[in-house]
Amino acid sequence: MDSVYALLIAPFAEFDFMRRALVGASVLAVSAAPIGVFLMLRRMSLVGDAMAHAILPGAAVGYLIAGLSLGAMTLGGLVAGFAVALLAGLVARLTKLREDASLAAFYLMSLALGVTLISLRGSNIDLLHVLFGSVLALDDQALYLIGGVASVTALVFTIVVRPLVMESIDPVFLRAVSRAGAPAHLAFLALAVLNLVGGFQALGTLLAVGIMMLPAIASRFWAQTLTGMIAVAIIIGISATIAGLLISFHLGLASGPTIILIAGLFYIVSMVIGPQGGLLASYLPQRHLEA
């Protein structure tokens, strides 16, 4: 009994930074789940990754001006992320280019700019911090930020979810009955940026995508409905957070990457044994109804 306690409970009971990491990363996992599921269903799984890169120069400018200040880097990241999302969307609507191509163009420029800015000042250690975060150093401010992001996400999502679903399935129909499509799409991209920025203090700009996408992608193998997928993604996200934190604590590994690795493990297991089109389900004989 003691060993179970020492293994699973003690790290959180005894260390404040572990509790903070648990709360921060779990709330992030809940908030990012619906975003990830929609990105996946709309065949935009790589968009989160592109957005994460796009955020970098904003965070870098914040860092150049104010040092490792959460407020400045968050603000910079938001501005850069929104700008790239908006520009990519505009180019896609006004020119012949598709959105994925224009997004690729802008995020690559943004990434190069970000790395250049960071190299202007500071050592590689700072760069690593921006890129990979430090979930074990979440202060009150960072937790409030994550809580705020989650609240805004929940609120905005309830407003845009219907047009978002309709645009995903039948965009022509939505355009015929409503003008809500474009604003809903933009609001959705903004939420993606917001969650990535919220996650970058904890997990870093690059790994914040992991807690968004991996549970969402894994959920496809378990649930048939939108609600079901989001619920499964939340469960996987929180489970990966708890397991990742404990493993990194006991083995002395970097915590952010460990959380994402565990989420990746969930994905691999889901892909193999998931009942909705997983490997085993596809190859084993299935029972069917008589009529």
Residues interacting with another protein, by CB under 8 A? Answer: 41, 159-160, 162-163, 165-166, 168-170, 172-173, 175-178, 180, 223-226, 229
Tokens for 221, please give them: 């193998």
Judged by CB, which is closer to another protein: 172, or 251?
Answer: 172
Residues contacting 132, CB < 8 A, separation 6+: 203, 204, 206, 207, 254, 256, 257
Least separation in angstroms between CB 266 and another protein: 20
CB 54 within 8 A of CB 107: yes
Judged by CB, which is closer to another protein: 120, or 172?
Answer: 172
Least separation in angstroms between CB 78 and another protein: 25
Nearest by Cα to 184 from 168, 154, 161: 161
CB 259 within 8 A of CB 135: yes
Tokens for 25, please give them: 């990363």
**Which stretches of 220-254 are DSSP H helices?**
226-251
Nearest by Cα to 197 from 76, 111, 99, 113: 76
Least separation in angstroms between CB 180 and another protein: 7
Least separation in angstroms between CB 101 and another protein: 19
Judged by CB, which is closer to another protein: 151, or 224?
Answer: 224
Least separation in angstroms between CB 42 and another protein: 8
Q: Rounded to whole angstroms, how far apart are CA atoms 222 and 234? A: 12
Task: Give the CA count within 13 Å in the CB-facing half-sphere of 162.
Answer: 7
Judged by CB, which is closer to another protein: 137, or 187?
Answer: 187
Judged by CB, which is closer to another protein: 163, or 256?
Answer: 163
Least separation in angstroms between CB 255 and another protein: 33
Judged by CB, which is closer to another protein: 222, or 249?
Answer: 222
- DSSP letter assigned to residue 136: G
